[in-house]
Structure 1
Amino acid sequence: MGSVVISLDAELGWGFHDMADPPRDRVEAGRRGWSVCLELFDEFDVPATWAVVGHLMLADCDGQHDGHPAPDGWFARERGAWADREDLRFGSDLVEDLLAADADHEFASHSFSHVLFGRPETDRALARAEIERALEIAEEWGLSIDSFVYPRNDVGHRDVLAEAGISAYRGRSPTRDGVGGIVDTRLRNRSLLVQPVVDEHGLVNVPASLFCYSFEGPRRTVAESIWTDPMVAQARRGIDEATRSDGLFHLWFHPNNLIQPRDDQRLRTILAHLERARERTDLTVETMGAVADRVARGDGVTGQRDPEWAEGRDLSGSDSVRASLE
C-alpha cells in the first residue's frame, strides 16, 4: 500500500529574518498562504505535517530573549526593522486555525527561531536551546511534538532531537530540485519515491521527495505556455508511482510559496489528483508522525542505515535549491 506525505515549513517572517535582503513577496505572502493551505487541505480532506516555528506561538516578547545562546545579532531584525511587524513575528491566530482545521493535521516543530542546525556556529548548546524552547511553548499550548523539520533542510545535531523525545525528521531529497529534478526523473528515470530509515540515534528519517515550488519565474511561465506546470507533472508522477507500489512520496513546501492565484491552483490541482488516486486505489495520506509510528512497528523500514543524501550533503549547486530552501 503506497502513501503520500505532505509537510510544510510554517514560519512567517522567521524564515527570512537572518537574510540581508529578504524576498518581499514571500515575506508578505506567509499569512495568506497559510490560510489558503488550510482551506485546500480541508476541502480535499488531506492531513499534513505542519512544522511551526515556536516563536510564532508566543503572545508577545521584548525581542531580547535573554538567556538564549544565539549568535550576536540573531534577533536584530526582530528588535529593529520588524519591531512593529507583529504579523511577521507572531502567529498564534494561525496556529489556532491549524488546530481547529477539519483535516487531522500533525503539529510538528521547525525550531524556536529558525536556527540553521548544520552550520558550524550552531553548537550543541544552541541546538538544545532551540529544541527545548519549542517544546516548552508547545507544552504551554497542550501540544506534544513527534516530528521535526530542519530550517532550510540543514540537518544537524540529530542526537539532540533524540534526547528531546522527537521521533522523526525530514531528511534531504535524493533527487534535485527544479530543472535538475526533472532531468533526474524523466531522462534518467529516477524514482520520486523515498524510503523511511532509522538512524543511529533511533530517529526515523522521512526523506523529502519533491519541493513543490522549485520551478518558478519566467521558466515556469514558458513551460506552462508550451507544456504544463512542471511541478504539477512531477507531483502527479510521484503520486502515481506511490499508487502502483508500496512506496512513499513526500511533497513539501512553505505556505509563503503561495504568492499568487496560480500558486494556489498548483496546489489545488495536485490535491485533486491525489483525491482521484485515493478514490480508486488503496493509496493513503500519512503524516510524518504516522510514518514514524509504523516504522517503529517494523512496517516499511529497511533497517538502520545512514544515506549520504539524508545527512544534508551539499546540494546547493542544483537548480534553484539555494533560493528555494529559504
Structure 2
Amino acid sequence: MGTVVLSVDAELGWGFHDQKDPPADRLANARQGWQTLVSLCDTYRIDATWAVVGHLLLDDCDNCHATHPTPPGWFDHERGDDAMPASLRYGDGLVEALQDATANHDIGSHTFSHVEFGDSETTREMARSEVAAGIELARERGIEMQSFVFPRNNVGHLDALAAYGIECYRGVNPATKRNDVWDGPVGKLAQATLVRRPPPLVEPTVDSFGLVNIPASLHLFSFEGQARDLVEPVFGDPMVKQAKLGIDAARERDGVFHMWLHPNSITEQRDVDRLREIFNYLDRRRGRTSLSVKTMAEVAAETRAQATESKTSPVEGT
C-alpha cells in the first residue's frame, strides 16, 4: 500500500529570530497560517506530523534561559526595543488546537529554540539541551514526542535524539539536495511547464543510532516569488502538479511520498487554494485506491516492525 506523509515545521517567529531581515509577510501571517492548516487537515482528514519549537509550549518567559547552553545573544530578541512579539514566541492555544483537532496529529519536536544541529558551532551539550527542553515541556502537556524535524533540514547530533527517546526524524533525500539539476531555477521551470517528472519517493530506514530516517520528498512552498507569479497564471500551480504526481507515484509503486511545509508560508489566498487542491486530491485518491495517509511516528513503527520481522524470518530452504 502506498503512503503519503505530511510533516509541518511549526515555529511561528522562531524560524527567523536569528535573521536580520525576516520576511514580514510570513511573520504577520504565522498564527493565521497555523490555524488555517489545522482547519484544512480536519476538513480533509489529514493526520500530520507537527514538529513544534519547544519554546512555544511556554506561557511566559522572564529571562529563564540563563543556563541554556546556546551562543551569546541567542535569546536577545526576547527583550529590549527589538523584541520579537509575544504572539510569535508563545503558542497561546495553538498547540492545544492540535491536541483538540479532529485529525490525529503526531506532535513532535523542532528543537527548543530552532538551533541548527548541523552547524559547526552547535555543541553536543547544546543539542542535548535543545532536545531535552522541548520533550520536558511537551510531557507537562501530556505529549510524548516521537518525531523530530531539524531546523532548516540541517541534520546533526543524532545521538542526542536517541538519548532522549526520539523514534524518527525527517532526513534529507539526496535527490532533493540543492545540487540536483532539477532543484535549480531552470529545472523547476521545466518541471512546472513541460516535464511530468514526479518527486522522489523515499525509503524509511533504521540508522546506526536506532532512529528511523524518513527523508523528505517535496517542499510544498519551494516555487515562490516572481517565478510563481509568472508561471502560475499560464501553466497552473507547479507545486500542485508535483504533489499530485507524487501522490500517484506512491499509489502506483507502493512507496512513501513525504511532503512538508511551514504554516507561516501560508500568507495569501492562493496558498490556501494550493493546499486545498492537494489535500482534496489526496483524499479522493485515498478513497478509491490502496493509498493511506500516515504520520512520521506511524511510518517509523511500521519500519521497525518490518526490520524486526526480516531479522527473525527463517532463511528460505533451511
Length-normalised TM-score, structure 2: 0.90
- Is 1:203 matched up with 2:204? no
CA deviation after TM superposition for structure 1 residue 63, in Å: 3.3
Matched residues, percent identical?
Answer: 50
1:85 aligns with 2:85: yes
Distance 1:302 1:143, change over 3 A: same
Distance 1:286 1:81, change over 3 A: farther
Q: Which residue of 2 aligns with 1:268?
A: 276
* 1:6–1:287 contact (8 Å) kept in structure 2: yes
Provide, for residues 293-324 of structure 1, a one-character-per-residue CA deviation record: whole Å limited to 9, x for no partner.
Answer: 00010169999xxxxxxxxxxxxxxxxxxxxx
Contact 2:76–2:83 (CA under 8 A) maintained in structure 1 = no
Tell me which moved more, 64-73 or 203-212.
64-73
- Separation (CA, whole Å) in 2 of partners of 1:207 and 1:263: 24
Work out whether 1:296 is the aligned partner of 2:304: yes
1:254 aligns with 2:262: yes
The alignment partner of 2:4 has SS state of: strand
| Structure-1 residue corresponding to 2:43 | 43
Does the CA-based 8 Å contact 1:4-1:250 persist in structure 2?
A: yes
Gaps of 5+ in 1: 304-326
**Do the aligned partners of residues 153 and 296 (structure 1) sit closer, same or farther apart at CA in structure 2, a change above 3 Å counting?**
same
Q: Which residue of 2 aligns with 1:147?
A: 147
How far is the alpha carbon of 1:192 from its aligned partner? 2.0
Q: Quick one: which amino acid aligns to residue 69 of structure 1?
A: P
Q: Does 1:280 align with 2:288?
A: yes
CA–CA distance in structure 1, aligned partners of residues 309 and 27 of structure 2: 38
Check whether the contact 1:131–1:161 (CA below 8 A) recurs between aligned residues.
Answer: yes
Aligned mate of 2:252, from 223, 244, 253: 244
1:221 Cα deviation from its structure 2 partner: 1.7
2:34 matches 1:26: no
Which residue in the other structure is 1:53 paired with? 53
Residues of 2 paired with 1:301 and 1:232: CA distance?
Answer: 37
Distance 2:310 2:242 in 1: 25
Query: Are residue 3 (structure 1) and residue 3 (structure 2) matched?
Result: yes
> Does the 8 Å CA contact 2:198/2:246 hold for their aligned counterparts?
no
TM-superposed deviation, 1:170 = 0.2
- Contact 2:3 2:294 survives alignment (8 Å): yes
Q: Bigger radius of gyration, 1 or 2?
A: 2
Give deviations 1:145-188, integer Å, cap 9, x for gaps: 11000011010000110111101000113225474456589759
CA contact (8 A) 2:127 2:160 kept: yes
Distance 1:82 1:102, change over 3 A: farther
Contact 1:182 1:234 in 2 (8 A): no
Read off the aligned partner of 1:9 and give its amino acid letter.
D
Aligned-partner Cα distance in 2 for 1:24–1:81 = 17
What is the distance in 2 between the residues matched to 1:84 and 1:26?
14
Amino acid at match of 2:122: T
CA distance in structure 1 between the aligned counterparts of 2:233 and 2:197, rounded to whole angstroms = 25
State whether residues 196 and 207 of structure 1, in contact with CA within 8 Å, keep that contact through their aligned partners in structure 2: yes
1:223 aligns with 2:236: no
CA gap of 1:203–1:276, structure 2 versus 1, over 3 A, is: same
Give how far 1:33 is off: 0.3
Task: Tell me: CA distance 1:53–1:280, structure 2 relative to 1, closer, same or farther (3 Å).
Answer: same
Deviations 1:172-221 (A, max 9, x none): 13225474456589759565211111111011000000000011112112
Q: Distance in 2 between matches of 1:253 and 1:266?
A: 12
Q: Please name the residue that 1:170 is paired with.
A: 170
Unaligned runs of 5+ in 2: 178-182, 312-318
- Equivalent pairs counted in the alignment come to 303
